[in-house]
Chains A and B, each alone.
Chain A
Amino acid sequence: MPRASDRSASARDTWLVALTLLLSIAAIFLPAPAADALAAGMRRTLLMPVIWLQQDAVASRQTRKAFAKVVSERDSAVLAAQLLQSLKAENADLRGLLGLSRRLGREFRSAEVLHQQVPTDGRTILLGAGAADGLREFDPVLAAGGLVGTIRSVSPRTSIALTWAHPDWRASATTLDGTAYGLVGASPGSLGSSVGLEFRAISYRDTIPMGTLVVSSGLGGAYPQGIPIGTIVAVSREQQGIERVYTLRPAANPSALTHALVILGGSATPLAVAFPRPAAVVPQEPRKDSVRVAAPRSDSGRRSDSGQRVDSTRILRPRLNDSTPPPAASEPLPTLPDSL
């Protein structure tokens, strides 16, 4: 028969386990703003020393890795810098001759990614830069390869980025040649699955070739136009006659990032010029189907940044940078080609 002290300890254990489980379940159902505020408060106070410790460790590792590379690149940069002024002057002259403005520049902030050892790391990532560095909520987060996500919450010295791997993340996207518009989101995978993205809400008639690059469309104002999101690798599923969903190979992997770039000041101007384009996918002449006509009509209210479309890349890629005014609602839809 257990002693009284043992019974009392056992009862205390039971109560403690029940209490922690109840608190955990309550935390799961906590409204997102309250949960974010609680997490941000902890990061600002209790966890500040360990975040600083981790930030220092990541910076040390990066410094160690980058040192040899920097030394070799420095010599090349010295040579290139000698030619830079003449190149700038020549570029300005040529752009002036063509009637173009200078290439749009964006202010950005580099931030260390502080990974944690939990399976949901990668859906949100902790960045070692915050409000004190100029970061704001909803600033786009990029990697060298392409789009990573957006800033979800900001503390003075840290911030949380919601990445494309999060089930709640969506982005308006288009193919590089502008023939299809849709939404990109994380694919609903099983426990054994690896990372994946889906390009959804594509008209059943719009067949996209494998290998096509999908970029942000700029619609909705969440992300600048032209940031690579992923490459079409397969047809995920299709609903006969209505919709086709494509699987994308992501352009950037949040769980493997060591550094991210945060574009400061929102998403007003396009960033297409910042990313190299694959030569394999040749832009096609867009088909004149009703979806293509309807898309600019429905989005005409959101395309308020047309006054900033002054970059040469945007002129050379007319389908991405369609400056033609959308047809009036009363205009008849164009006749569909016979092939459809």
Chain B
Amino acid sequence: MTSSFAPNRSRLPYLLAFALLLGLHFYVRPLVFESPAAPDFLLVAALFYAMQTGPGAGALAGFAVGLVQDALVPAHFGAAMLAHALVGALAAWGRAVFFAENAIVTAGFMAAGVIIRDLIMLLAGGGAGGAPGGFLGGTLPQAVTTGVAAAFVTVLFRRWFAVRLDQ
């Protein structure tokens, strides 16, 4: 059975791309970036998967990424799961309703995903009190870098994801 959002195609490209983004997130990012504004490749992977499948699978992917984040930063356990699941579902829904496949639009979409994710996390975590960097100092730069990373991923993996980029 296929989702109304998902064309029936092999999951292998997704798995390969996800493994690559996992490597980027846990090895290349800490190797290269020191600031909290480093791109969030896990969110990029989850949102790409969500946009290519559907709200259910997107929420599930977001939930899984959130579970990983909550296990690594258990400051407010469950907040990351909730935020990522919501953003995953919204991404799939938004992609079906709103926009064409375009690298710049995808970048903006990912940046919005970071902002919404952080807002939900901070609200679910009892506000931003004491949050190092704060919303403006941490989230907005990260949204920009994540958007740029997503644009590169869109261009590089367009064949794997069968993305038809608008000219």
Contact = CB atoms under 8 A, between A and B. Distances in A.
| A and B: interacting chains | yes
Interface of A: 2, 5-6, 8-10, 12-17, 20-21, 23-30, 32, 35-36, 38-39, 42-43, 47, 50-51, 53-54, 56-58, 60-61, 114-126, 153, 160, 164-167, 186-197, 253-256, 258
B28 A57 contact: yes
B131 A30 contact: no
Interface string B130-145: 1111111111001000
A165 B134 CA distance: 11
Given A17-B85, A255-B36, A118 B80 contact: yes
A2 B126 CA distance: 42
A92 B25 CA distance: 51
Given A24-B66, A60-B31, A9 B3 contact: yes
Contacts of B132: 122, 165, 194-195, 253-256
Contacts of B92: 13
A270 to B, nearest CB: 26
Contact of A24 (B2, B26, B43, B81): B81
Interface residues of B, number: 72
A-B pairs with lowest CB-CB distance, top 7: A186-B130, A16-B56, A27-B78, A255-B132, A28-B78, A13-B56, A24-B82
A192 B119 CA distance: 11
Given A13-B56, A20-B60, A195-B132, A27 B28 contact: no
Interface in B70-116: 70-82, 85-86, 89, 92
A191 B4 CA distance: 38
Contact of A122 (B56, B70, B133): B133
A25 B120 CA distance: 12
A123 B121 CA distance: 13
A8 B75 CA distance: 38
A119 B80 CA distance: 9
Interface in B119-166: 119, 121-122, 124-139, 142
Contact of B78 (A30, A187, A255): A30
Interface of B: 1-5, 22-23, 25-32, 34, 36, 38-40, 42-43, 54-57, 59-60, 62-63, 66-82, 85-86, 89, 92, 118-119, 121-122, 124-139, 142
Contacts of B68: 42, 47, 50
A103 to B, nearest CB: 33
Nearest to B81: A24
A28 B130 contact: no
A17 B82 contact: no
B64 to A, nearest CB: 9
B72 A196 contact: no
A42 B22 contact: no
A115 B121 contact: no
B131 A120 contact: yes
A39 B59 contact: no
Contact of B54 (A13, A164, A187, A190): A13
Contacts of B60: 16, 20
Nearest to A21: B85
Given A35-B78, A57-B27, A190 B130 contact: no
Nearest to B131: A119
Which residue, A15, A122, A188, A254, has most C-beta atoms of chain B within 10 A?
Answer: A122
Contacts of B72: 39, 43, 47, 51, 114, 116, 126
Contact of A191 (B26, B27, B119): B119
A32 B36 CA distance: 26
A308 B35 CA distance: 42
Given A27-B78, A153-B74, 5 more contacts: A24-B81, A124-B75, A126-B72, A188-B130, A255-B133
A61 B39 CA distance: 17
Contacts of A192: 128, 134-136
Contacts of B126: 167
A286 B158 CA distance: 71
Nearest to B74: A39
A21 B29 CA distance: 29
A194 B27 CA distance: 28
Given A17-B59, A187-B129, A36 B40 contact: no
A58 B43 CA distance: 21
